[in-house]
């Protein structure tokens, strides 16, 4: 009954891969299946889901092909979040490639749905926490998010988590910065 052309999940897609390439179709199908599982949970929780058409800072997804796998030139596509825009390298939909990266980065829970849950945690930090009176409570639990994010990630990748991190963090990556702790906790 909706006047929208796309379903509630697809309304948030900003960029999809070139679907004239069969391998992209296969990967995008896997990506969309995981994204729909994410949307099912968010809708059940009645979380706010503004799209970019409704709000310039709303939720959007770019599903990109790494230039090394195409005719494009440029840096590798990194999965991440930037002010409501979630970018996903569709190579993550390939089980073998995802397993290679999971092992390389020591990310035991690396799945497509896990990526979505983690990145949407960053989005909801912006929506629910950033300007909320609970920010002091957030800092008491997760730490001060004003710490230099770039420096924190460099330190994490150079030295790893502190010994005994398992006692206070949900993952090794959560130790890197309060934003990552929140996103990892949200994902889990």
pLDDT tens digits for 70-92?
Answer: 777 778 888 999 999 999 999 88
Average pLDDT over residues 98-121: 87
The residues spanned by each domain of the chain are 1-131, 135-188
- pLDDT given at position 147: 97
pLDDT by residue (tens digit) across 24-73? 999 999 999 999 999 999 999 999 999 999 999 999 999 998 887 777 77
pLDDT by residue (tens digit) across 134-179? 999 999 999 999 999 999 999 999 999 999 999 999 999 999 999 9
What rounded mean pLDDT belongs to the chain? 92
- pLDDT given at position 81: 95
Strand, coil or helix: what is 80?
strand
Q: Kind and range of the H or E element at 102? A: helix 95-105
Closest by CA position to 113, among listed 184, 176, 35: 35
The answer to whether the predicted template modeling score (pTM) of the entire model surpasses 0.75 is: yes
- How far apart are the C-alpha atoms of 126 and 122, rounded to whole Å? 7
């Amino acid at each position: 009954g909706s006047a929208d052309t796309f379903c509630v999940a697809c309304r948030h897609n900003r960029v999809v891969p070139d679907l004239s390439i069969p391998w992209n179709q296969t990967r995008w199908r896997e990506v969309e299946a995981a994204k729909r599982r994410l949307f099912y949970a968010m809708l059940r929780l009645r979380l706010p889901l503004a799209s970019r058409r409704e709000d310039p800072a709303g939720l959007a997804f770019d599903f990109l092909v790494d230039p090394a796998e195409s005719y494009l030139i440029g840096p590798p596509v990194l999965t991440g979040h930037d002010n409501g825009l979630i970018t996903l390298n569709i190579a993550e939909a390939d089980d073998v490639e995802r397993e290679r990266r999971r092992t390389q980065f020591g990310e035991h829970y690396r799945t497509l749905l896990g990526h979505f849950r983690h990145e949407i945690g960053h989005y909801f930090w912006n929506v629910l926490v950033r300007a909320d009176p609970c920010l002091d409570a957030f800092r008491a639990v997760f730490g001060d998010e004003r710490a230099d994010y770039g420096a924190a990630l460099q330190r994490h990748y150079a030295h790893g988590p502190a010994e005994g991190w398992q006692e206070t963090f949900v993952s090794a990556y959560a130790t890197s910065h309060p934003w990552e702790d929140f996103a990892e906790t949200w994902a889990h």
